[in-house]
Amino acid sequence: MKFDYLIVGAGFTGATLAERLASQYDKKVLVIDRRNHIGGNAFDRHNEDDILLHLYGPHIFHTNSKKVWEYLSQFTEWRPYFHEVLGVIDGQKVPIPFNLNSLYALFPPAYAERLENLLIESFGFGVKVPILKLRESSSSELKFLAEYIYKNVFLNYTKKQWGLSPEDLDPSVTGRVPVYISRDNRYFQDTYQAMPRQGYTRMFENMLQHPNIKVMLNTDYKEIYDAIKFSRLVYTGPIDEFYSFKHGELPYRSLRFEFQTLQYEYHQSVGTVNYPNEYDFTRITEQKYLSGQKNRATTLITEYPQPHITGVTDAYYPIINEENRKRYEAYAKEARNSDVIFAGRLADYKYYNMDQACARALSISEELGAEK
Ligand code: FAD
Ligand code: UDP
């Protein structure tokens, strides 16, 4: 049998492309993954206490893209969910992203009010200000505030998470969690925020059930590519690995997850608590908040950042800065001159959220569908 497409990787990128190519363009597709499951890093399953667990760290779905939302809604029902995060600062648990409520939780009311007024005068109510921008303020009081937030929220968390200071990363990284001049305690403000009602894995099963799609797990691309007949290759794994690291390894950051089940109902007051300054983990997430499950027990995921070692730890985060972008460009140049389709967080070496991975796959499928 000859496949029209061999798709390496069954995560958001691979599954979206497989589904579109099979059902919209009637292509025969083989999806392989070297892991023993579909879903990529969004994979979830129930543990022995029946709690739906995200095995590769907590995944919260949010998007402003109507197109992505409507596309995925064909494969899952949703449970509305607004993620909230508290950060432990000076012994207090305060809303993250740092907002006006955080200000009042940490400073005496009169001083908090003064800073609130200054923030609103300088930037406007409802505006999101990246911390590296706030640090450039000319007002000495806002400079003081910026230094306080930088030191207490960003500096140590970022050093733990990336092994680097905020200045050594692209500003977009810390810009994901800007200071928010608002009373809105939600982590995201996207139009669509919800979790797949029966989990991500069920959604992926629905995406991949088309008769034109075959799925092969526990299979590395290198093991089978010369044994399978196919016309086009889609690759969603690490691009440096695809090219046998010929331009050097691209830096990634990894994590170790610790799962702990407690035999009582709730441990935290919100989904995630960040620990910027204490401990060698960054955050603890209580899974039940994400799924809305009722259960007498509760499971926590604690994230310990780790260096990435090829073949030993998983490449979870591309480390985005100017130097690494240049290294990636050597691979991107090769990619542009080949007929392999590279897509996804690891193949594009981009810090995509799930919706961005899905959007990119949808647009590639349209380009492929438009070819001949
Ligand atoms: P992946 O999910 O990484 O899938 C790639 C697949 O390819 C993997 O299954 C891998 O096994 C397979 N593969 C690689 N190489 C080979 C090979 N040679 N042969 C066979 N198979 C191969 N996004 C959000 O929107 N919200 C969140 O809350 C969120 N939280 C996150 C938390 C963590 C800890 C991490 C790491 C990511 C998080 N993300 C979140 C991002 C999200 O995981 C990604 O956007 C999404 O998974 C990208 O999908 P993908 O298909 O590109 O890559
Ligand atoms: N960040 C931080 N302190 C926090 C939250 C985030 O310093 O309390 C920084 C840190 O550098 C982190 C980045 O902002 O890696 C992006 O945070 P996000 O929560 O988006 O990371 P992800 O969920 O992708 O791990």
Q: How far, in Å, from the CA of 343 to the mean position of ligand 2?
A: 24
**298 and 51 in contact (C-beta within 8 Å)?**
yes
- Over residues 240-262, the mean pLDDT reads 98
Which parts of 138-232 fold into alpha helices (H)? 140-149, 156-162, 171-174, 200-207, 221-224
What percentage of the chain exceeds 70 in pLDDT? 100
Tokens representing 86 are 């508290």
- Over residues 268-290, the mean pLDDT reads 98
- Over residues 277-282, the mean pLDDT reads 98
Best mutation site among 43, 236, 259, 352 for ligand 1 pocket (most ligand atoms within 8 Å of CB): 236
List pLDDT tens digits, range 145-201: 999 999 999 999 999 999 999 999 999 999 999 999 999 999 999 999 999 999 999
**182 and 99 in contact (C-beta within 8 Å)?**
yes
ipTM above threshold 0.85: yes
Task: Answer whether residue 372 shows pLDDT above 90.
Answer: no
Q: Which atom of ligand 1 is nearest to the CA of 356?
A: 45
**332 and 182 in contact (C-beta within 8 Å)?**
no
Q: Pairing state of beta strands 283-286 and 92-96?
A: unpaired
Ligand 2 close to Cβ of residue 352 (< 6 A): no
Q: Residue whose CA is closest, atom 6 of ligand 1?
A: 9
- Per-residue confidence band for 14, with pLDDT thresholds at 50, 70 and 90: very high
Report d(CA 319, CA 314) in Å as an integer.
14
List pLDDT tens digits, range 40-57: 999 999 999 999 999 999
**147 and 135 in contact (C-beta within 8 Å)?**
yes
Domain 2-82+196-251+318-370 part of CATH 3.40.50.720: yes
19 vs 43, 120, 210, 211, 298, CA distance in Å? 17, 47, 7, 10, 34
Residue 44, pLDDT score: 98
Mean pLDDT across the chain: 97
Neighbouring residues of 74: CB distance < 8 A, sequence distance ≥ 6: 206
Residue-range domain boundaries for the chain: 2-82+196-251+318-370, 85-180
9 vs 165, 214, 238, 341, CA distance in Å? 32, 13, 10, 12
- Per-residue confidence band for 370, with pLDDT thresholds at 50, 70 and 90: confident
**355 and 68 in contact (C-beta within 8 Å)?**
yes
Count of H-run helices and E-run strands, the chain: 14, 19
- Over residues 86-99, the mean pLDDT reads 97
H or E segment to which residue 69 belongs: helix 66-72
- Over residues 303-317, the mean pLDDT reads 96
Task: Answer whether residue 125 shows pLDDT above 90.
Answer: yes
Ligand 1 residue neighbourhood (C-beta within 6 Å): 8-14, 32-35, 40-42, 56-60, 220-221, 236-237, 255, 316, 344-346, 352-355, 357
Ligand 2 close to Cβ of residue 174 (< 6 A): yes
Q: How far, in Å, from the CA of 359 to the mean position of ligand 1?
A: 14
Q: How far, in Å, from the CA of 330 to the mean position of ligand 2?
A: 28
Residue 1, pLDDT score: 84
Residue 371, pLDDT score: 86
Q: Which amino acid is located at 124 in the chain? A: G
- Looking at the CA of 193, name the nearest ligand: 1
What percentage of the chain exceeds 90 in pLDDT? 99
pTM over 0.90, yes/no:
yes
- Looking at the CA of 177, name the nearest ligand: 2
Neighbouring residues of 225: CB distance < 8 A, sequence distance ≥ 6: 6, 233
Q: Which atom of ligand 2 is nearest to the CA of 96?
A: 8
